[in-house]
Amino acid sequence: MNIGNMGVIGVGATALLAGVAVLLAMVRYDLGPRARLERGGWWLLATALGTGMAAFAVKLGIILAVANLPGVLVDPLITRVQTAHPARAAGPSVATPGPRRYVWQRLPSAAPAPAPAPVAGAADYPWRALPEAAPAPAGNPTTPARVALGERLFFDRRLSRDGTVACASCHEVPGGGADGRPTSVGIDGRTGGRNAPTVWNAAFQAVLFWDGRAASLEEQARGPLVNPLEMGMPSLAAVEERVRQDGDYREAFTAAFGPGEPITIDRITAAIAAYERTLITPDAPYDRFVRGELDALTPAQLRGMALFQAVGCVLCHSGPNFSAASVFEPQAPLRIFPAFPTPYETRYGLTEDSGAAPPGSPRGSWRVPSLRNVALTGPWFHNGSVTELEEAVRLMANVQLGRTGHLLIWSAGDRVLREVDRPELGEREIGDLVAFLHALSSDRLAERTEGAGKTPPGAVSYPSAGAAPRAR
């Protein structure tokens, strides 16, 4: 405890003792006689009036306790309060890099790592399979006509300014629903700053985009159309006019929304969202296991499933869609990332973009991504910086679960050098977790991607203008 804190204790204790003396004198010589209280009544009155001073003492104790906590523990808590995300312009957004606040030196481990201890809050976790159908808002039912129209719009490159980019350019439906690139390529070869999330099972997410700025599929579908780094249309009105120019679309819109209903951006995005709500994968080995097919998982996958729960992965990647940002339990869709300072954040540039956190924040704030089909959607993380799933798991164990190994950490914020030794996960644990993540892949998507090698970036065949969409 430093000298400043001792001074606070001295002043607080003096004030507390003085208050007690004054209170007792008031009760003994003034309030008690006026109220004609007996001696027992005096003590009861003094006790009742003294609760305020007791509260003062408790507050003083809390302030001193927080003031003496290590900065590495307090910093993430303070940052989390500041991560309510403001409204962002559509499209990838790269924040100004925050100051470098930590320096690390890795030390040799003193002893073999023990088996991971169970994390509080992860016990008795209820595993659930993905539903067979996605929920739809009352105003946009998933009808066959709307789905067919939305599929056609999803694959139509003419919705981009130069006719070269469709929704399916970055979200390849035949594969994992992403594009296999670190960051996506839009019109004129422009690249954004973020990795394309998968479109598969997006219908189960309560917020969309990496920073969670869209609250529905309908809202999300507007952004890429006018983003200058993606499809680049000058305005949403220009999108409407481009669609109206195709006579075949008029007939499809009539079938989807009724006769006499004009082609508007709201109906365009409603149709795209209706199609995306059909892109779900409840056919993973994990789902079959949870539904009662007890031999659906390999021994390694079953061990990985147990470890996924024990070390606390389920605290963020929870529910049937393996995301706390899902419609099943969207109480905390955004989380601090990275939560623990480690060398990984500089190695992979994890803090160069702060997501939903204020620009310049030392920690980012990001939507919890779904882990469904995660083995098919590399490279990983918001900047696509990690190319191996094993490394992605190892990184998450370090920066989110605190399994950092033996480190010296210099904190520039409070100018303190700390030594921490939190056992890392071993290679067998990493392998078992990776095996379990493969069990979250759709059987049919895995067959497509593995049968053809991995779907290379840009390998989707798009329909020609006016034709029904096809993918192969």
If you ran DSSP here, which 8-state letter would residue 103 be given? Answer: E
Phi first, then psi, for residue 46 (nearest 5°) are -65, -40
21-34, pLDDT tens digit by residue?
Answer: 766 677 666 666 76
Q: Tell me phi and psi for residue 364, to 5 degrees.
A: -90, 165
Strands 334-337 and 364-367: antiparallel
Say whether pLDDT at 120 is over 80: no
Nearest by Cα to 11 from 53, 60, 58: 60
Distance CA 165, CA 467 (A): 16
* Residue bearing the bigger pLDDT, 371 or 5: 371
CB hemisphere CA count around 370 (13 angstroms): 34
pLDDT at 71 over 50: no
Q: Catalytic amino acids?
A: 230
What is the number of other CB atoms lying within 10 angstroms of the CB of residue 306?
13
Counting residues of the chain whose pLDDT is more than 90, the rounded percentage is 61
User: Hey, what CATH class is 78-130+282-441 in?
Assistant: mainly alpha
- The residue behind tokens 């069990």 is 439
Q: Mind listing the pLDDT tens digit for each residue in 389-445?
A: 999 999 999 999 999 888 787 877 788 888 878 889 999 999 999 999 999 999 999
C-beta of residue 177 within 8 angstroms of C-beta of residue 373: yes
250 vs 423, more confident = 250
| Structural contact between residues 419 and 407, judged by C-beta atoms closer than 8 angstroms | yes
pLDDT tens digit sequence for 336-386: 999 998 899 999 999 999 999 998 888 999 999 999 999 999 999 999 999
Report the chain's terminal Cα–Cα distance, integer Å. 67
Distance (Å, whole) CA 365 – CA 235:
29
CA dihedral 37, 38, 44, 47 (to 10 degrees): 80
* 102, 399, 406, 416 from 422: Cα distances, Å: 17, 12, 6, 18
The residue ranges of DSSP E strands in 85-243, in sequence order, are: 102-106
Q: Is the pLDDT of residue 332 over 50?
A: yes
Q: What is the mean pLDDT of the chain?
A: 82
Residues 6+ away with beta carbon under 8 Å from 98: 351, 354, 360, 361, 362
| pLDDT at residue 87 greater than cutoff 50 | no
User: Do 418 and 411 contact (CB within 8 A), yes or no?
Assistant: yes
Q: DSSP labels for 29-82?
A: IIIHHHHT--HHHHHHHHHHHTHHHHHHHHHHHHHHHHHTS-HHHHHHHHHHHT
Contacts (Cβ under 8 Å, ≥6 apart) of 13: none
167, pLDDT greater than 80: yes
Residue 89 has pLDDT above 50, yes or no: no
What does the radius of gyration of the chain's CA atoms come to, in whole angstroms?
28
Tokens of 238: 């220009």
CATH architecture of 144-276: Orthogonal Bundle (1.10)
- What integer is the mean pLDDT of 77-84? 36
Pair 378, 181: CB distance under 8 Å: no
